[in-house]
C-alpha cells in the first residue's frame, strides 16, 4: 500500500473536497509554527519545539477539520529537519482523514516551475499534497503545466487572486486594457478551466474574506475559494456571507493563528475547532 502523501490520488480533488466539506464542514485549519506561537505554547524555537507544536496541532485539527493547511515557510526556516517535520505533518493529516492544502505560493517559469511541480504535485514526491497554493503573477500561463499535472493526478491548485494583505490592492485591483482588474482576470481564467467540472472544479482561488463585497464576480468560478482573513484578521461569518454569498459554496474559511492560540491544551484546541465549525455552519 502506498505511503500517505506519496501516491497520486485517483478521484478528482474537487470531488474529494466537496465530499469532505459535506462530512466535516468547510473549515481550513492552518498549521503555522510562528515563533510567537511556539513561545505561547512554552516551546523552544528549535526543531524539537517545531516538531512538538506541529504534530500536537495536526493530531487534533486533522481529526476535526476538512482541510489542513501547513504554511511551508515556517518549516523551511528550520532547514532540512524542518522539511522532515512538514512531511510528518502531511502524513499525519492524511491518516486522520483530512485533505492537505500545502501553502507554498510558488510561481515561476519553465524548468523552475517544473521543479516546483515535481516537488509538490508529483505523485511520488515526499511533499506531494492534495492541493497547493500557487502565484500567477509571472503570468497565468506559467501555471499551465502545474495545473495539468495536478488535475491528471487528482490533485488541486489554489491560485492567488485577491489576497487579504493590504499591500495587494495596488497590483490586484489594477485595471487591464479589457477593463477588468488583474484579480478578476485570474478568477475568469480559473473559471474557464473549471467550466467542464461537475460539483466542484479542481482549481480554486484565494480571495480574502476582508475584501469589499461585490469587488469580484465569482459566479462562474465553480471551484474552491480559500478565504484567509477569517478570525485573527477581523473577518466574521457575516463578512464571509457578504463577500461570497449566503450559501458559501466551496468557500474554505481559513483560521491559523487565531485557532492555534487555543493550544497547547488539546481539549481547548479541539473545542476551538468545533466552535468555529458551528459558527460557519
Q: pLDDT tens digits for 79-94? A: 999 999 999 999 999 9
pTM, full prediction: 0.93
- Residues 69 and 228: their CA atoms lie apart, in Å, by 11
Domains of the chain, first to last = 13-280 (3.20.20.70)
All cell numbers assigned to 120 = 509538490
CB neighbour list of residue 276: distance below 8 Å, 6 or more residues apart: 27, 231, 253, 255, 259
What DSSP character marks residue 110?
Answer: H
Distance, in Å, from the CA atom of 47 to the CA atom of 45, rounded to the nearest integer, reads: 7
Q: Which residues contact 90 (CB under 8 A, 6 or more apart)?
A: 4, 5, 70, 100, 102, 127, 129
**CB 156, CB 225: distance < 8 Å:** no
Tens-digit pLDDT profile for residues 92-149: 999 999 999 999 999 999 999 999 999 999 887 789 999 999 999 999 999 999 999 9
Alpha-carbon distance of 143 to 241, in angstroms, equals: 30
By annotation, the residues acting in catalysis are: 105
The CA-based angle 266-269-46, given to 5 degrees, is 75
From the list 201, 254, 205, 241, the residue with the least C-alpha distance to 17 is 201
**Would you place residue 233 in the very low, low, confident or very high pLDDT band (cuts 50, 70, 90)?**
low
Amino acid at each position: 500500500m502506498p505511503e500517505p502523501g506519496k501516491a497520486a490520488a485517483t478521484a478528482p480533488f474537487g470531488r474529494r473536497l466537496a465530499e469532505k466539506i459535506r462530512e466535516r464542514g468547510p473549515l481550513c485549519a492552518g498549521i503555522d509554527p510562528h515563533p510567537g506561537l511556539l513561545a505561547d505554547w512554552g516551546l523552544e524555537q528549535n526543531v524539537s519545539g517545531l516538531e512538538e507544536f506541529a504534530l500536537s496541532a495536526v493530531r487534533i485539527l486533522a481529526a476535526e477539520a476538512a482541510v489542513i493547511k501547513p504554511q511551508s515557510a515556517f518549516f523551511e526556516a528550520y532547514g532540512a529537519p524542518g522539511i522532515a517535520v512538514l512531511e510528518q505533518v502531511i502524513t499525519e493529516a492524511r491518516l486522520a482523514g483530512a485533505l492537505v492544502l500545502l501553502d507554498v505560493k510558488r510561481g515561476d517559469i519553465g524548468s523552475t516551475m517544473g521543479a516546483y511541480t515535481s516537488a509538490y504535485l508529483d505523485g511520488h514526491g515526499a511533499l506531494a499534497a492534495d492541493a497547493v497554493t500557487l502565484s500567477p503573477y509571472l503570468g497565468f500561463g506559467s501555471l499551465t503545466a502545474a495545473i495539468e499535472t495536478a488535475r491528471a493526478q487528482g490533485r488541486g491548485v489554489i491560485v492567488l487572486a485577491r489576497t487579504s494583505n493590504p499591500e495587494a490592492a495596488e497590483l490586484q485591483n489594477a485595471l487591464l486594457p479589457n477593463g477588468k482588474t488583474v484579480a478578476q482576470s485570474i478568477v475568469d481564467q480559473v473559471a474557464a478551466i473549471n467550466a467542464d467540472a461537475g460539483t466542484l472544479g479542481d482549481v480554486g482561488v484565494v480571495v480574502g474574506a476582508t475584501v469589499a463585497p461585490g469587488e469580484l464576480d465569482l459566479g462562474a468560478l465553480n471551484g474552491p475559494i480559500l478565504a484567509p482573513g477569517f478570525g485573527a484578521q477581523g473577518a466574521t461569518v457575516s463578512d464571509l456571507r457578504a463577500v461570497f454569498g449566503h450559501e458559501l459554496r466551496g468557500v474554505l474559511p481559513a483560521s491559523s493563528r487565531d485557532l492555534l492560540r487555543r493550544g497547547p491544551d488539546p481539549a481547548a484546541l479541539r473545542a476551538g475547532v468545533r466552535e468555529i465549525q458551528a459558527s460557519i455552519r
